[in-house]
Structure 1
Amino acid sequence: MSGATAIDGFATRIRRGEGGLISAWIGIPDPLFVNHLAQEDFDAIVLDMQHGVWDIGTAAVGIGQGRLAGKPVLARIPVGDFPSASRLLDVGASGIIAPMINSASDAEALAKATKYPPLGERSWGPTLALNHTGLTANEYLMSANEQTVAIAMIETRAALDAADEIMRVEGIDGIFIGPSDLSIALSDGAKVAPDTAEVDGVLKHLIARCRAHGKFACVFGSNGERAGQLLRMGFDFVIAGADTQQLRSGAASAIAAARRVQSS
């Protein structure tokens, strides 16, 4: 699959559930870091603007670096920052992940910001997106709602209660589950325990609701092994650990190898 096909066809692939997709997750605000990780066999890249320290300018360049390497780039916006969702699509993001979508009204606000009429109220101005796609203005207008995805995060008790209503909102393409925040919610703030049987039960329930509504299901996996378990569970799109965890794990492995050889 060519880079252009992989990028422009990403939304179709994830909507159709064409095999489990694995994405990188990057909070370090260096566009070159995106390009390096994009050389690996990830299906996509996610820029974390909620807990990472990207801004619009660095994210725009990061999206370009991902596209240069042939990978679609999505962005997780800060809580409630729907204006940034539109701007990120304008600079070429393939999708938006919005945290703390706790109600149908939250989901409607996300859809309004990320979809052109008649689905939403996204304002016109796809500056870099036109350059990246090579489409004319009218071609982009006619295809953007289908070629980009709006993903609502479900990670609180309120969101669990409203999950069906959230998924019924037209313009919401899929959901993304944050197991850490979900575990905090389920324990009433007592613990962070994302990889437990209790959380798994909720994950399986939400996958079933996605199937019922014709939506795709995404989730954060704490590492590669956990990501594989989540794919086997039925998720369409998983994170195989964050950039910082992978960076430190790789460094720790190299140090341990050096010490092992030194002492042998």
Structure 2
Amino acid sequence: MTLADRLNSGTVSFTAWSGIPDTLTVESVSRLGFEVVTLDMQHGAHHEDSVARCVPAITGPGKHPVIRIPVGRFDMASRALDLGAEAVIAPMINSVEDARRFAAAMKYPPVGERSWGPTFGFPRSSVKDHAEWLATQNSRTISFAMIETRAAYGLLDEILDVAGIDGIFVGPSDFSIAWTSGAALNPNLEDMMGAIADIGTRARKAGKFAAIFATDPKICGRYASMGYQMIAMGNEQTYMRVGAENLIAAARAAIS
């Protein structure tokens, strides 16, 4: 099952978020209950070498690898796919031209301009030959354009209409900063929830995927009802902190 198959199955998928560029750490995260693992090159410390080495640490336990590239690094989108990623998240897609450049890097002709060279991705896949790879990659890989500014929201339909853009990924923290003109950082800001619901609805109506980052697991049901099919939560520090807090609280309760 590909990530696209999973997202089309009708169930919500959860992605872990990794910022530590260490193969053993990523392998440990990949053995948690998430269906997907995202390596973050934008705000996390992942880089080209860690992506190359960590993709097998994700696929080994049977999870789906996703890469968030740095802002404007559309060349890295192609490289991520060549290294075996199933999806790429591109931040700050604020214009139709941004979306077109991202899509061009993600898709082989005639849809885009992705160059041939799946040096690591092909042998890491279950695809039998290069002909099958070429024929199926455009549908097997997912391009998520991040919607996190008022400019992107204003151009949402045009971005969704770009050939080769498969879905959107909402960054609610940046969206809250944009929504309040820099006055507040609140990813759960009630005043913008109508817009977030609208983004999910319009993406699904266009036949595209919808994904979002949740800073509070309690909001996931609300996001799912808005049409979001993939939800990101936490990072390694969060998983360690929450796990440690639960362990220590249980131990102290036992002692007292």
What CA distance in whole angstroms lies between the structure 2 residues aligned with 1:249 and 1:133? 34
Given that 1:17 and 1:236 are in contact with CA atoms closer than 8 Å, whether structure 2 keeps it comes out as no
TM-score, scaled to structure 1: 0.92
Corresponding residue of 1:53: 45
By how many angstroms is 1:234 displaced?
2.4
For residue 122 of structure 2, give the secondary structure of its aligned residue in structure 1: helix
User: What do the CA deviations read for 1:46-91 (whole angstroms, capped 9, x no partner)?
Assistant: 1111000011111111111111111110000000001111111001
What CA distance in whole angstroms lies between the structure 2 residues aligned with 1:259 and 1:232? 38
Corresponding residue of 1:168: 161
What CA distance in whole angstroms lies between the structure 2 residues aligned with 1:151 and 1:242? 19
What CA distance in whole angstroms lies between the structure 2 residues aligned with 1:85 and 1:251? 35
Corresponding residue of 1:146: 139
Q: Does 1:212 align with 2:166?
A: no
User: What amino acid maps onto 1:201 in structure 2?
Assistant: G
Give the 5 Å matches for 1:59-74.
59-74=51-66
Given that 2:204 and 2:227 are in contact with CA atoms closer than 8 Å, whether structure 1 keeps it comes out as no
What CA distance in whole angstroms lies between the structure 1 residues aligned with 2:197 and 2:187? 14
By how many angstroms is 1:231 displaced?
1.8
Give the 5 Å matches for 1:119-158.
119-134=111-126, 135-158=128-151
- Structure with the larger helix share: 1
For residue 71 of structure 2, give the secondary structure of its aligned residue in structure 1: coil
- 1:85 pairs with one of 77, 82, 87: 77
Q: Matched residues, percent identical? A: 43
Q: Does 1:203 align with 2:193?
A: no
By how many angstroms is 1:17 displaced?
5.1
Instruction: Sort the Cα spacing of 1:229 and 1:244 in 2 relative to 1 into closer, same or farther, 3 A.
Output: farther
Give the 5 Å matches for 1:1-264.
5=1, 9-14=2-7, 16=8, 18-134=10-126, 135-262=128-255, 264=256
Moved more, 157-166 or 28-37: 28-37
Given that 1:226 and 1:240 are in contact with CA atoms closer than 8 Å, whether structure 2 keeps it comes out as no
Gaps of 5+ in 2: none
Given that 1:178 and 1:219 are in contact with CA atoms closer than 8 Å, whether structure 2 keeps it comes out as yes
Gaps of 5+ in 1: none
Aligned CA-pair RMSD: 1.4
What CA distance in whole angstroms lies between the structure 2 residues aligned with 1:159 and 1:31? 34
